Amino acid sequence: CSGSTNKPVLTLFTKKPCPLCDEAKEVLEPYKGRFVLQELDITLPENSAWYEKYKYDIPVFHLNGKFLMKHQVDTEKFEDQLRKVELQSD
């Protein structure tokens, strides 16, 4: 098993500046080998739908396209969901 083939994708809905997002990324640091972090800037014109949805809630996280958590990282929930996704892809 190569391991790196199907890493879960964690999408971070963010904007600049976002101190809470920076904080969230620090909390996620120990897990970074287990997922691919994709940052999506909600202030970009092509992301206006996300902006409308999340402008008061960032940081917001989606795991493999599904809503996971917002405002701050819930490490227990994150680990639990990450483990489930990893088991599915094995």
In this structure, whether the domain defined by 9-88 belongs to CATH 3.30.1490.20 is answered with no
- Return the higher-pLDDT residue of 88 and 68: 68
In the prediction, which pLDDT does 6 show? 82
Sheet holding 9-14, edge to edge: 36-41, 9-14, 60-63, 66-70
| Structural tokens at position 16 | 């600049």
Q: Map out the domains of the chain as residue ranges.
A: 9-88
Q: Rounded CA gap, 85 and 44, in Å? A: 29
Torsion angle of the four alpha carbons 35, 24, 82, 11, in this order, in degrees rounded to the nearest 10: -60
Q: Rounded CA gap, 66 and 16, in Å? A: 23
Please report which confidence band the pLDDT of residue 5 belongs to, taking 50, 70 and 90 as the band edges. Answer: low
Residues 21-77 have pLDDT tens digits of 999 999 999 999 999 999 999 999 999 999 999 999 999 999 999 999 999 999 999
- Is the CB of residue 34 less than 8 Å from the CB of residue 82? yes
